[in-house]
Amino acid sequence: MGRVRPTNMSGFVRPKDTDANAVVSVFRVSAEVAGQRVDVFLQHQLRRTSRTRAQFIVKASAYDAAGHRLKPGDRVHSQQHILLWREPWDETPVPRDIPIVYEDDYILAVNKPANLPVHPTARYHRNTVIKMLTAERNDAFLSLGHRLDRETSGVLLLTKTVECDRSLKRMLEERDGITKRYEAITWGIPVNPETGAALSVGYPYRLERHMRLDDLCQYKVKMKLVDASDPNGMYSSTIFTVLDTVNTERGEYARVSCLIETGRQHQIRLHLQAMGAAIVGDKLYGPDESAFARGADGELTEDDSAMLELPRHALHAAMMGLLHPITHEPLEIVAPMPDDMREFWESITNRAERDRDPPGRALRESTHFGSPWSRRES
């Protein structure tokens, strides 16, 4: 699938009722999915879209290569091209302040805000880290050294030269001298799968598992744990250390340091879910995965928001250590915990204190024990 401008659409007919500046997404139907309904096909292709949203998209913008409008219930056939002709849209607003935490002639390191995509996607074209920084720097060369999920905040490296880009990507691929530490806030305290006991504060625990894409999940981005014998399984390893815990009437929470030894998609989120402590705000690995599509479509309900507690998953790339790709000097790049996570932790800590000592309790106890100010003068 690729998005192209109408001027590059040789072989396809532009529908007469489309805007001259329309943005086009083109999807080719493989033999394996021939016969599916158009709305089902596009829901799977768009990945983060609900069935209801997919039906709306089809009705509003789906055409075949000849420019004929398609209906949600139409059947796709092998090698057919499905085109979504959409008017230029106002992209979802994103944070525009991207703090720089380190820079030299070769590397630019930023503290990426949550909810800012790192590269163009089907939903975000201009409002991305790479597009915004490139524009700010008069189209100077910038390349993403690695990626972070849109909702994840923290340290993100970009390279400023081709030589540095090649060297950094090699280091990351081989995990040559790379250290990455994240911080997460979880529902519950992570449990040691072998003993069933909650991890103790300050004591590291290494979780080693194999993981792969969950073929049964309709969103096509969710990962799952598998047995080491699975031919498609990828080894993954994370060292978890509980930093602090809070117990409220709603339940327990933990602040967790996550030192990744491999870099699999959604590794930390999946590992913590497997340890019984999903990340607060996680729409895909939290209590209800259907919130993932509603969140992507901007259709979260009040119940969803109450369930999730935070509008994004509470995961932050706190530190990255490496040898400089060009100078080979040691670097440790740190991004402080963002305000939303810090304020959430403070709020549940205050909530726990109120739960332990509700208003009026001290006065009731002092009255019960006959404090001087509760006695009447005779």
Q: What is the pLDDT of residues 63-120, one digit of tens each?
A: 999 999 999 999 999 999 999 887 665 556 677 789 999 999 999 999 999 999 887 6
Residue 7: what pLDDT?
46
Residues 6+ apart with CB under 8 A from 227: 210, 233
CATH code of the domain containing 329: 3.30.2350.10
Look at the chain and report how many structural domains it folds into.
2
Evaluate whether residue 361 is within a structural domain.
no
C-alpha torsion angle, residues 285, 286, 291, 297 (rounded to 10): -60
pLDDT above 70: percentage of residues in the chain: 88
Contact predicate 211/222, CB 8 Å? no
Q: Confidence class of residue 271 from pLDDT cuts 50, 70 and 90? A: very high
155 vs 299, more confident: 155
Residue 270: what pLDDT?
98
Task: Examine the pLDDT at 161 and tell me if it is beyond 60.
Answer: yes
Same domain, 111 and 19: no
Same domain, 34 and 121: no
Q: Confidence class of residue 12 from pLDDT cuts 50, 70 and 90? A: confident
Evaluate whether residue 378 is within a structural domain.
no
Of the residues 86, 118, 144, the one at which a domain ends: 86
Contact predicate 284/296, CB 8 Å? no
Instruction: List the one residue out of 221, 201, 207 whose CA is nearest residue 266.
Output: 221
Same domain, 111 and 181: yes
Q: How far apart are CA 1 and CA 25, in angstroms?
A: 7
Domain around 106: 100-353
312 Cα distance to chain centroid: 8
Residue 124: what pLDDT?
64
Contact predicate 101/109, CB 8 Å? yes
Residue 123: what pLDDT?
64
Q: Confidence class of residue 349 from pLDDT cuts 50, 70 and 90? A: very high
Evaluate whether residue 167 is within a structural domain.
yes
Q: What is the pLDDT of residues 172-213, one digit of tens each?
A: 988 888 999 999 999 999 999 999 999 999 999 999 999 999
23 vs 47, more confident: 23
Residue 19: what pLDDT?
73
Residue 96: what pLDDT?
78
Evaluate whether residue 364 is within a structural domain.
no
Residue 362: what pLDDT?
47
Task: Examine the pLDDT at 35 and tell me if it is beyond 50.
Answer: yes
CATH code of the domain containing 76: 3.10.290.10
Residue 120: what pLDDT?
67
Contact predicate 153/335, CB 8 Å? yes
Same domain, 35 and 128: no
Same domain, 31 and 142: no
Q: What is the largest CA-CA distance in the chain?
A: 101
